[in-house]
Amino acid sequence: MEALMALLVGLMIAAALYLMLSGLLVRFVFGFTLMGNAINLLIFTAGRLTYSDPPLINPGQTILAGQTANALPQALILTAIVIGFAMTTFLLILLARTFDQTRTLDADQPPFLCELPDTGPLASNINIPEKKG
Amino acid sequence: MPLTAPCIDKVPDCCRAGLFSSVLPLALFGMLCLAWPGVVQGEVFLVEWAWVPSLDLYLRFRLDGLSLLFCLIVTMAGFFVSLYASSYMAGKQHLGRFFVYLHGFMIAMLGIVTADNLLLLFVFWEATTILSYLLIGFDHENTTAREHARQAILITVAGGLFLLFGILLLKTAGGSMTLSQWALSGDEIRNHGLYPAIFICVLVGAMTKSAQIPFHFWLPNAMSAPTPISAFLHAATMVKAGIYLLMRFHPLLGGTSLWTGTLVLLGGTTAVWGAVQALGPYDLKRILAYTTMMALGILTLFLGGQTVLSLTAATTFLMVHALYKASLFLAVGSIDHQTGTRDLRHLGGLLKAMPLTAVAVATATLSMAGFPLFFGFIGKEIMYEGALAEEMFPVFATTATLASNALMTAVAAIILITPFLGRRPLMTAQICEVPWTMRLGPAIMGGIGVLFGIIPEWVSANLVQPAVFAYHPAREEIRMVLFHGFKLPLLLSMITLTTGGLIYWFRIRLRHFIQTGLDRLWITTPGIYQRTLDLFLWSAGGFTRTLQSGSLHTYLSIILMVLAVIVGGSWFVHIPSVFIVPGINDDWIAAGLCGFILLSSGVVVTARRRLAAIGGLGGVGAGVALIFLIFGAPDIALTQLLVETLTVVIVSMVLFRLPPIDTVRKRARTRNLFNAVLSLCIGLLVTTFLMGVLTAPLDRSLTDFFEKYSYIAAHGRNIVNVILVDFRSLDTLGEICVVVLAAWAGVALMRSRKKEE
């Protein structure tokens, strides 16, 4: 089962990166969300999978009894899910604002690319060489 | 004192800034005079404070004969230059700043020549570089001045780096950082394998500072500085810092054939090349700059020698040159100040208008030419004696000295005769003599040149001998006399004067010849400098344009490729050949869920419509939540379902305000293929990583701790919740902060959008 999960996580990451590389900003956000899910699964699997009870202490006891799921990765993932949600929302708002400003969501279009001047004229006025020497 | 100068700047009569601040060098000069008799007796003044002892860096200052000689030159020139500048710079802007730089420079220079710790010396060395940059570019609204300042700082800083490297190598070789201990450990360093490298690095440092070929070209260009600065930095003091460095390193590195051969050949070539070029220009300051280059070459040449005679020649000529050159620079500045030009073609007949300046120039040039009874004559005699006694290349040394001295004589004649004698051009009819502040410096320094020429015994006993003894172990008595008798040096002196006269006679033809010859040179050091600079700018521009293109695709691809190559490459070496993955019972439900998630991901990737993509995203989220549920994590399954629902809602809200996905132009097939391959590589990397993690044994110590203390310490039965709100509550606080910040920023973005509407 773990090997299957590892394969799934790898494929999800690949899908997410493919979306992020596509150059369309909407797909970038999709990829971002997908990657968040993939990484949560990765952390979960790394803490080992068990078909056991959730980590709850039974009433009347003070120490966890018997085999339960690993609590630590669950706590980490809980935090990650919430932060991932906040980031996705923020990205979406940013996306909407970007579209307002640029009227395009194609990241390979001019408003997103910086055009630096050629250094040719810059170099020529940086220093006047002395002729003799 | 220099710090008070900016306040004085506010005083309407800005001359006072200079007058007031010239008290500082004068006071220092007076204090040095108090220490002088002691130093002549062989006394050494030493003060030391620890600065960074772990780095061998001590604030250790030492005043011996050599330091005293340099200090006297620096403070004397500093005094006259401040005084001179108070009138010369009158009416210019930023005078306060000017005097701060000037006196800051003077203090740094005094630091170089008194520091007894090599690292401390380096600190002051760099300080003079920076201050000289500020001073050359003082007229910062002038493009040429800025360019020349940049050229000077680039070259001298590069040399400074070499020097620093040399210092580090010296330390590696076991050399002491204390200069005064070098006389003891010389043999050890000279026989060390690193010796040639140390020598080259130190030499390059000295060469750049002291304008030796091929780093000489910044010096004539540094003439963009105001004239008092040229007189101070580029004649009397800073360019001599390299010479001082060679003198100090002499007991440690000197005496090998590498040292002697390199210095003699280098110095001789620089001297002759500088002297030849001095005949070319019409600008008086440029002429003086080339003669300074010649003088620095001569000094290097004589520092190559080992004999007392050779070193005496260097030390004496150092004083001769400082006196006449500072005086000449200041006098040329006076001419420029009064007539508005320093071009030889527009000058003439100034003798009547500026008599005292003319006298000062006369004494200085006669000393420069080496006429008998002038200090320059003494210097020249001892130079020839030293050159003839050179251990290596005595013929070359003598010829180079003779040639450059003859050319110097001719240049001296040009400087003296052309501006002051002959017909006065009409445009300079109204001019008069400069104020006393500008006459005093040239006159007194010229006068000292005459005085020293008459009392050479006193000079040799009180200045030259203590200085030479400070960096030469042999304690032979040095005695300079007015007249050496009819010997070879006297004959050479006479030849020098005659040849100089001849060169002066044919100067116009020679100048033409030199100019055409220089114009025909197809490879020049300034050209190489320029091309190197252009290359740097071109490659920097290229790098920036490639790396900072603004293309999301490029950025991501570079990051991912680096990740794939570096991480993947290192795993390729260290990866375990077999993965032992714990296989819990295969479950068809879980496997089906995995398939569902994969399918949903595929939908997101291939979706051509927004709705399909959103549906796919929701499917992935739900599938992940179910997996959490199966494997004993109901809390996160719940959160995941809630968050996923919210995400789908928000994505739908935003997405349907945006244009459909498929309106964007199609990408090239090759690019999509590249993206797919790269993504799959990283995916494979992640799978391998996870397999590796699963193969390693699980460390449950943290989990065990939480399981044990969850109820006892935190009184909670839900361990996941206890971790979040108790054990790791600061993390949760951070998480809340992120959510609040994201919400805040989102609201701000939306509000600004509404405002625009």
pLDDT in tens, A74-86: 999 999 999 999 9
Which one of B557, B617, B664 has the shortest CB-CB distance to A106?
Answer: B664
Signed CA dihedral, B593, B599, B604, B605: sign only: positive
Region B38-58: mean pLDDT is: 88
3-state class (DSSP) for residue B30 = helix
Q: Give the model's pLDDT for residue A115.
A: 63
| pLDDT for residue B153 is more than 90 | yes
- What tokens were used for B284? 């008086």
B700 and chain A in contact, CB less than 8 A: yes
Q: What is the CATH number of the domain that holds A32?
A: 1.10.287.3510
Do B418 and B378 share a domain, yes or no?
yes
* Whole-number Å distance between alpha carbons of B517 and B249: 37
Q: Give the model's pLDDT for residue B716.
A: 87
Q: Give the model's pLDDT for residue B175.
A: 83
CB B377 within 8 A of CB B296: no
pLDDT tens digits along B584-604: 666 788 889 999 999 999 999
The residue segments making up the domain with residue B740 are 698-757
* Whole-number Å distance between alpha carbons of B36 and B41: 9
| CA-based nearest residue in chain A for residue B730 | A79
Do B434 and B291 share a domain, yes or no?
yes
CB contact under 8 A, A90 and B745: yes
* Whole-number Å distance between alpha carbons of B675 and B561: 11
Put simply, the chain A residues between 90 and 109 with a CB less than 8 A from any chain B CB are: 90, 92-97, 99-100, 105-108
Kindly state whether residue A40 falls inside one of the protein's structural domains. Answer: yes
CB < 8 Å to B649, chain A: none
CB contact under 8 A, B658 and A92: no
Q: Give the model's pLDDT for residue B8.
A: 47
CB contact under 8 A, B742 and A95: no
CB < 8 Å to A52, chain B: 632
| pLDDT for residue B379 is more than 80 | yes
Which one of A56, A87, A108 has the shortest CB-CB distance to B551?
Answer: A108
| pLDDT for residue B575 is more than 80 | no
CB contact under 8 A, B698 and A47: yes
- What tokens were used for B398? 């003598």
CB contact under 8 A, A42 and B732: no
Q: Which of B144, B585, B650, B719 to mutate to test the interface with A (most CBs of A within 10 A)?
A: B719
- What tokens were used for B595? 């398939």
- What tokens were used for B228? 């008092």
CB contact under 8 A, A9 and B553: no
Confidence of residue B186 (pLDDT cuts 50, 70, 90): confident
- What tokens were used for B737? 């902060």
Q: Give the model's pLDDT for residue A124.
A: 40
Region B600-624: mean pLDDT is: 92
Confidence of residue A121 (pLDDT cuts 50, 70, 90): very low
Region B545-570: mean pLDDT is: 88
Put simply, the chain B residues between 574 and 633 with a CB less than 8 A from any chain A CB are: 579, 581-587, 590-591, 594, 597-598, 601-602, 604-605, 610, 613, 617, 620-621, 624, 627-628, 630-633
Q: Which 8-state DSSP code applies to residue A130?
A: -
CB B443 within 8 A of CB B433: no
Q: Give the model's pLDDT for residue B673.
A: 93
CB contact under 8 A, A34 and B601: yes
Give Cα B274 distance to the centre of its chain.
24
| pLDDT for residue B144 is more than 70 | yes
Kindly state whether residue B74 falls inside one of the protein's structural domains. Answer: no
Rg value, chain A, Cα: 26
CB B658 within 8 A of CB A27: no
| pLDDT for residue A35 is more than 60 | yes
* B531 class by beta-carbon count within 10 Å (0-12 exposed, 13-18 middle, 19+ buried): exposed
Do B674 and B738 share a domain, yes or no?
no
Do B688 and B710 share a domain, yes or no?
no
Give Cα B22 distance to the centre of its chain.
28
| Residue B664 φ then ψ, to 5° | -80, 145
For chain A, how many structural domains are there in total? 1
Kindly state whether residue A28 falls inside one of the protein's structural domains. Answer: yes
Q: Give the model's pLDDT for residue B302.
A: 93
* Whole-number Å distance between alpha carbons of B621 and B605: 15
Confidence of residue B142 (pLDDT cuts 50, 70, 90): confident
Do B661 and B719 share a domain, yes or no?
no
| pLDDT for residue B582 is more than 70 | no
B147 and chain A in contact, CB less than 8 A: yes
Do B437 and B490 share a domain, yes or no?
yes
Region B181-189: mean pLDDT is: 83
CB contact under 8 A, A96 and B598: no
Region B205-220: mean pLDDT is: 90
B141 and chain A in contact, CB less than 8 A: no
Q: Give the model's pLDDT for residue B573.
A: 75
Do B607 and B722 share a domain, yes or no?
no
Kindly state whether residue B376 falls inside one of the protein's structural domains. Answer: yes
| CA-based nearest residue in chain A for residue B519 | A132
Kindly state whether residue A57 falls inside one of the protein's structural domains. Answer: no
Kindly state whether residue A16 falls inside one of the protein's structural domains. Answer: yes
Residue with tokens 């005064």, as numbered in its chain: B180
Kindly state whether residue A107 falls inside one of the protein's structural domains. Answer: yes
Do B628 and B742 share a domain, yes or no?
no
pLDDT tens digits along B473-531: 777 777 777 777 778 888 888 899 999 899 888 888 888 888 888 888 777 888 888 88
Confidence of residue B557 (pLDDT cuts 50, 70, 90): very high
Kindly state whether residue A59 falls inside one of the protein's structural domains. Answer: no
Polymer length in residues for chain A: 133
Do B719 and B654 share a domain, yes or no?
no
Q: Give the model's pLDDT for residue B408.
A: 92
Put simply, the chain A residues between 22 and 41 with a CB less than 8 A from any chain B CB are: 22-24, 26-30, 33-34, 37-38, 40-41
Kindly state whether residue B128 falls inside one of the protein's structural domains. Answer: no
Task: Determine which of A109-118, B310-319, B398-407, B720-729 has the lowest per-residue pLDDT on average.
Answer: A109-118
* Whole-number Å distance between alpha carbons of A33 and B648: 11
For chain B, how many structural domains are there in total? 3
**A121 CB contacts (<8 Å, ≥6 apart)?**
none
Closest CA to A81 of B522, B647, B159, B273: B647
* Whole-number Å distance between alpha carbons of B187 and B180: 15
The residue segments making up the domain with residue A23 are 2-50+69-113
| pLDDT for residue A66 is more than 80 | no
Kindly state whether residue B633 falls inside one of the protein's structural domains. Answer: yes
Q: Give the model's pLDDT for residue B698.
A: 86
Closest CA to B156 of B235, B103, B230, B211: B211
* Whole-number Å distance between alpha carbons of B78 and B36: 18
Kindly state whether residue B237 falls inside one of the protein's structural domains. Answer: no
Give the HSE-up count for residue B444: Cα atoms under 13 Å, Cβ half-sphere.
13
Closest CA to B468 of B241, B250, B692: B250
Do B705 and B685 share a domain, yes or no?
no
Q: What is the CATH number of the domain that holds B602?
A: 1.20.120.1200
| Mean pLDDT, all residues of chain B | 87
The amino acid present at B466, given as its one-letter code, is P
